[in-house]
Every structure is written in C-alpha cells, then in structure tokens.
Amino acid sequence: MIFPSSVLFDTALIPMIDQTVVMGVLAMVIEDALIPGLDAALEELRKQGLTVRLHSGQNNTWHVADGGLFSGYVASGDELLELKRANNLNLSGIKSLG
C-alpha cells in the first residue's frame, strides 16, 4: 500500500481584482513508491528509527537522518535499493555512499 510521504504546498497568483492580489494555494501529494520495491527499503529505514523524507521528487532522492533537521545524508532511490540488496541498508551504509 502506498501512503503519502509528504505534502508540498505551492502558491498560485490569481490576477489582480481592484488592486487586490488574491493568493490561492495548490496542494500536491508526493507518494513514496517511485520505484518498485522502494517502499520496503524506506519502511526498513524508518523501523531503524531513522527519519526519511523526500529530498527531490524530480530526482527521486531521499534525505535520511538520525534526528536533527539539518543533519543527515541524501541518497537516490536506486542507491537505497542497492544497499538493501547488499544487506547494508542502514545509516552506516548510506554514509559510505560518499
């Protein structure tokens, strides 16, 4: 089952009406499963107590951290799957990616 991992908000400008600018909010939901099998890898990292957030939906990169908002490592979905296949899917394995 696929669950939304994050919701990104964007703003859209609506044309000026009598010198007043009206802003509208558009919501976009990003789903975890961009690559088959990635859900299991992301869930495994979360079970280890790591925080996993989408870093770039366009590039399919993920930010993995052990606490701390500005600490952590970025890895692609393909790299996470490769670490899972090598039985090295943990923070140490992600650090070793460089």
Residues of the chain with pLDDT > 70, as a percent, come to: 62
**Averaged confidence pLDDT in the chain:** 76
Q: What is the pTM of this model?
A: 0.64
DSSP state of 34: S
Backbone region of residue 93 per phi and psi (left: phi > 0; alpha: psi in -120 to 50; beta: other values): alpha
**One-letter-per-residue 3-state SS of 41-62:** HHHHHHHCCCEEEEEECCCCEE
Confidence of residue 98 (pLDDT cuts 50, 70, 90): confident
How confident is the model over 28-46, as pLDDT tens digits? 444 545 567 899 999 999 9
